[in-house]
Amino acid sequence: MNPQKFKSLLKLHISMKKIGLIINPIAGMGGSVGLKGTDGDIYKKALQMGAKPVTPQRINLMLSCIKNKEKILFLVAPGKMGEDFVQKKEFDFEVIGEIGENTTAEDTKRIAQKIMA
């Protein structure tokens, strides 16, 4: 790579804004069926009552409002906790940490610590 191109890429990388993004994929589901939250067994009850995820619609709306995509680098949790959403909207991103099939508050805390490191 020639030195001028390297300097341009370095300048671009330095000027990018890094935004940490961790999404709770079940946020808001309890409230949609009159429950308070979705912790523990309440999540299962919310599903039985017909609760549907509200996070995808909200996060997609938020991401659609962002201008200058090329100036943003998202530091995201894997899969449904962030990666899936920024990837669909074609943002630059870096996946931080790992999650299992069922996400927990511990996943959020662990990944937040890694993003801040």
CA pair distance 58, 77, nearest whole angstrom? 17
Q: What is the pTM of this model?
A: 0.79
- Could you tell me if residue 97 is left (phi over 0), alpha (psi between -120 and 50 degrees) or otherwise beta? left
Segment-wise mean pLDDT, segments of 10 residues, the chain, 117 residues: 60 76 90 81 86 90 92 95 96 95 91 95
Per-residue pLDDT at 2: 60
Per-residue pLDDT at 27: 86
Per-residue pLDDT at 3: 65
Per-residue pLDDT at 13: 58
Per-residue pLDDT at 62: 95
